[in-house]
Structure 1
Amino acid sequence: MKLTGGKAIEFGGLPGRLYSSVATAGSLPRPAYVLLHGIGVSHRYFARLHHELALTADVYTFDLPGFGDSPRPARQVPVGEYAAFVHTALADAGVRSCVVIGHSMGTQHAVELALQQPELVAGVVLMGPVVDDQRKSVARQALALTRDAMFSESVTSNAIVFGDYFRAGLRWYLTELPVMMEYPMEARVRGVGQPVLVMRGSKDPVASRGWCERLAGQAAQSSLTEIPGQGHVFQHTAPGPAAAAITAWVRAVDGFGVTA
């Protein structure tokens, strides 16, 4: 399914961009997946996973306000506003039910969207979730990210991530960093009634196995899976196994209504 987009969108004065791969009118109903990126990055590090999922589903990916090709807002944006922004864009696109897939800080946006719009979000996938409750300092997060980049990632994943960091700029990154660090992930996940899949790369120093197990334990309906031999950005380095794990989980969970 061909990726279309870079469609400019705006809500509440926040500008972003939406990229999509959607079946043509008259096609059989397909699941709908929504991909939400983490701090500093953009839709680009989701491109491979987007392609894999789009073989059998409608897929929507964002450049959230302030990141990628989206202009920088004039103020700090809390997680709840990002979630409301995503909801407005999806409603405008005609999405009535979806599985929302967040990566890193995008997991916070995914959880908040599920809480704000339970009738829209049929399930939640948390890939490399943050922030580990036992490493809740900027220094520890920076060290974990450095270890991941040096020892667990590919040249291309590092090029995309650090290229996007450069585009976002240090000022905007530091503006949003406190939002990520202060978000009460465990407490918020407890309120999610939809099925939750927690995913991590087995070599990920950012989202440790213990943290992911603790987080999964907070959700009412949860599963945990690892992608062997991968780091934090496994959606780029192992898109096939990542997509297979997500689609297998969706098929295994009863009651998903995820057609667009």
Structure 2
Amino acid sequence: MRPLVETVDVEGCVLRLRTLAPAGRARDTLAPTIVLVHGIGMSHRSFKRVQRVLSRSYRTIAVDLPGFADSPSPDRRLEIEDLARLVITALRACDVEQCLAIGQSMGTQVVVGMALQDPGFVTSVGLIGPVIDDRRRTLLQQGFSLAVDGIRERPAMNATLLTDYLRSMPTYLRELRVMMRYPTLRSVAALEVPVLVMRGTEDPVARRGWAARVAGVAREAAFIELPGPHHVQDAHPGAVAAIVDEFIRVQTVGQLR
């Protein structure tokens, strides 16, 4: 199945949206649309495996943020709130009416920002490997954790990491401090929508204590751990997709536990 790729210019920033859906449902508004937002330096490719699984049942849209992958680098630094606004505007331009927004790493900050700005549009959020641990908020600590994680990722994922980082380095360097200073805990605590927090048990970036605290400050949350590293959605796409599916089903009947 080939994705529908759309390029959207919002406020002079270019975003690319890659839609995969069951046949004939690329514009489907009957089922929840699942939006996937990558981490810093990365691209839609970090969600490639799990998007394939999710798209068997749902319309899925993987976003390339401005300056990442082959999207042109913006001429200014973008705060998390800016990125959230740009993604919402781009999705609305592509006929998305509501969505479950799932982010990984820095993408978790973006989807939280989206839900804070428009909880009617983002009906729930999924946070895979949320960042940044407020007790480990130094570049040295985060850099060491990423190096350790590289040992634990699949070789194919490491190849994606390397090539995406090389393509996105100017934007990566510009956005790094934006990610580092974002108040994740305070922002999650302010959410009005249900939250799914997920991490890999071998993730040295989003450690268990931190991820549990993120879930703990939310008004309504589920906390799930799966075997695997920081990119657990790549390591175990089937299991992650099954958890997301269950999360959606629980939301549908209003019985989140």
TM tier, shorter chain?
over 0.9
Q: Is the 8 A contact 2:21 2:57 kept in 1?
A: no
TM-score normalized by the length of structure 2: 0.94
Aligned equivalent of 1:4: 3
State the shift of 1:44 in Å: 0.8
State the shift of 1:54 in Å: 0.2
What are the ranges of 5 or more consecutive residues in structure 1 without an aligned counterpart? Answer: none
Corresponding residue SS for 1:253: helix
User: Where in structure 2 are the equivalents of 1:33-72 lying within 5 Å?
Assistant: 33-72=34-73
State the shift of 1:235 in Å: 1.1
State the shift of 1:249 in Å: 1.6
Q: Is the 8 A contact 2:18 2:62 kept in 1?
A: yes
Aligned equivalent of 1:105: 106
Aligned equivalent of 2:164: 164
Aligned equivalent of 1:207: 206
Q: Is the 8 A contact 1:97 1:119 kept in 2?
A: yes
CA distance in 2, matches of 1:82, 1:28: 24
CA distance in 2, matches of 1:34, 1:227: 21
CA distance in 1, matches of 2:32, 2:253: 13
Deviations 1:41-64 (A, max 9, x none): 100111111101000000011111
Aligned equivalent of 2:83: 82
State the shift of 1:138 in Å: 0.7
Q: Is the 8 A contact 2:40 2:106 kept in 1?
A: yes
User: Are 1:217 and 2:235 counterparts?
Assistant: no
Deviations 1:210-241 (A, max 9, x none): 0011111111001100112x000111111101
Aligned equivalent of 1:184: 183
User: Are 1:95 and 2:93 counterparts?
Assistant: no
State the shift of 1:255 in Å: 5.4
CA distance in 1, matches of 2:246, 2:82: 31
* More divergent stretch after superposition (18-27 vs 41-50): 18-27
State the shift of 1:28 in Å: 8.8
State the shift of 1:245 in Å: 1.0
Structure 1 pair 29–254 and aligned structure 2 pair: CA distance change class (3 A): closer
CA distance in 1, matches of 2:59, 2:5: 16
CA distance in 2, matches of 1:28, 1:87: 16
Q: Which structure is richer in relative contact order (CA contacts within 8 A, separation 6 or more)?
A: 1
Corresponding residue SS for 2:36: strand
What are the ranges of 5 or more consecutive residues in structure 2 without an aligned counterpart? Answer: none
Aligned equivalent of 2:234: 236
CA distance in 1, matches of 2:88, 2:233: 23
State the shift of 1:38 in Å: 0.5
Aligned equivalent of 2:248: 250
Q: Is the 8 A contact 2:21 2:56 kept in 1?
A: no
CA distance in 2, matches of 1:21, 1:27: 11
CA distance in 2, matches of 1:100, 1:62: 11
Q: Is the 8 A contact 1:5 1:19 kept in 2?
A: yes
State the shift of 1:77 in Å: 0.8
CA distance in 2, matches of 1:186, 1:22: 33
Deviation >4 Å, runs of 4+? 25-28
Structure 1 pair 95–207 and aligned structure 2 pair: CA distance change class (3 A): same
CA distance in 2, matches of 1:204, 1:172: 24
Corresponding residue SS for 1:212: helix
Q: CA RMSD in A?
A: 1.5
State the shift of 1:14 in Å: 0.7
State the shift of 1:87 in Å: 0.7
CA distance in 1, matches of 2:28, 2:160: 34
State the shift of 1:130 in Å: 0.1
State the shift of 1:22 in Å: 3.5
User: Are 1:21 and 2:20 counterparts?
Assistant: yes
Q: Is the 8 A contact 1:31 1:56 kept in 2?
A: no
